[in-house]
């Protein structure tokens, strides 16, 4: 099938494109390259355009006639959203409104949407199930929850078939080292820990070591980006056999602390991870990990790379090559 991958030049979108192509589908990347990378578009055509532009979207749908759409074109940095909320609402919500209008015009009724566990806010119970109240505590989470509700409304009124996947912490890289995580600035834990271990940019910042967790640091659910890509394909396939909408968690079902991630980085690289302790960040819950029973039942989802050392190793192989480093840069 042909799949329009909106934001397909970004981290998760590119891995989804690679996975689609591997099974014989054609990903058509639609991206304005504001944060994506043109060299990550390798498995199908690139349509340069803005998701908020009806003209750009109409061109993509008319030219390529996709059978379905996947959406990854969102602003994601939580702190940035607090400082520039209108930018987030414009892109994260306004962009989906424009996309849905273009899909309706093109008679394309299948959408896989990248949502987030941030729609839950501060969790009341763990592991997090889909029954947990959604009460986001930041602009990013509120924009994603608004889109989820909009999708449900459009599905009821117009028959849209959709799946909203609530990600936990995407991490890692393709096992062959071909593509991986590249954000500027980089705010995610594993690439920053790898940078510190490689002696790039000085010590990393560790936010809070006094949480009520097993080692004092935050505990999170890290899901390999290729497992996340497989969940998207399973959700896409389900849209062709099931009407209506679906919203479910995608994680591993297990929590890993920040210190445990750093220990995994040290084992993989053979180098220490220099780090400085900083105060807790506002709004960071001590623990956050998923119950993935719904994804297992409805999508047949089962993570293949669930252990943190494998996730870190795949990320290291990509970054080591991207940074032009030897296997262990700090060792003789």
Query: How far is the C-alpha of 324 from the C-alpha of 250, rounded, in Å?
Result: 33
What does the DSSP 8-state code read for residue 203?
P
The count of other CB atoms within 10 Å of the CB of residue 304 is 10
Q: In angstroms, rounded to a whole number, what is the distance separating the alpha carbons of residues 204 and 42? A: 32
DSSP 228-260: HHHHHHHHHHHHTT--SEEEEEES-S--EEHHH
Place of tokens 């479910």: 248
Alpha-carbon distance 332 to 323, whole Å? 18
Max CA distance (Å), the chain: 65
Query: Is 140 an annotated catalytic residue?
Result: yes
In whole angstroms, give the CA distance from residue 20 to residue 3: 9
With beta carbons less than 8 A apart as the criterion, state whether 72 and 49 touch. no
SS3 category, 290: strand
Of these residues, 11, 140, 167, 289, which one is catalytic? 140
Catalytic residues: 140
């Amino acid at each position: 099938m042909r799949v329009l991958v909106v934001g397909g030049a970004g981290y998760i979108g590119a891995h989804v494109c690679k996975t689609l192509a591997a099974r014989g589908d054609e990903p058509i990347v639609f991206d304005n390259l504001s944060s994506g990378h043109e060299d990550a578009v390798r498995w199908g055509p690139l349509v340069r355009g803005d998701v908020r532009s009806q003209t750009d979207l109409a061109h993509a749908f008319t030219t390529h006639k996709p059978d379905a759409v996947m959406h990854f074109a969102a602003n994601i940095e939580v702190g940035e959203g607090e400082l520039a909320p209108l930018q987030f609402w414009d892109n994260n919500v306004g962009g989906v409104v424009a996309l849905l209008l273009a899909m309706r015009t093109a008679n394309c009724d299948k959408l896989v949407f990248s949502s987030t566990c941030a729609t839950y806010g501060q969790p009341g119970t763990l592991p997090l199930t889909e029954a947990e109240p959604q009460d986001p505590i930041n602009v990013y989470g509120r924009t994603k929850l608004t889109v989820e509700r909009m999708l449900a409304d459009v599905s009821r009124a117009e028959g849209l078939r959709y799946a909203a996947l609530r990600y936990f912490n995407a991490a890692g890289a393709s096992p062959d080292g071909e593509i991986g995580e590249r954000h500027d600035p980089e705010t995610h834990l594993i690439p920053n820990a790898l940078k510190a271990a490689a002696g790039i940019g000085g010590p990393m910042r560790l936010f809070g070591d006094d949480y009520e967790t097993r080692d004092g640091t935050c505990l999170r659910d890290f899901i390999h980006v290729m497992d996340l890509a497989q969940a998207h394909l399973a959700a896409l396939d389900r849209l062709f056999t099931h009407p209506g909408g679906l919203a479910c968690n995608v994680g591993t079902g297990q929590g890993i602390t920040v210190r445990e991630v750093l220990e995994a980085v040290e084992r993989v690289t053979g180098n220490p991870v220099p780090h400085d302790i900083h105060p807790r960040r506002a709004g960071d819950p001590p623990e956050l990990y998923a119950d993935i029973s719904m994804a297992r039942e409805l999508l047949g989802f089962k993570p293949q790379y669930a252990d943190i050392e494998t996730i870190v190793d795949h990320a290291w192989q990509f970054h080591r090559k991207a940074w032009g480093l030897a296997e262990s840069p700090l060792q003789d």
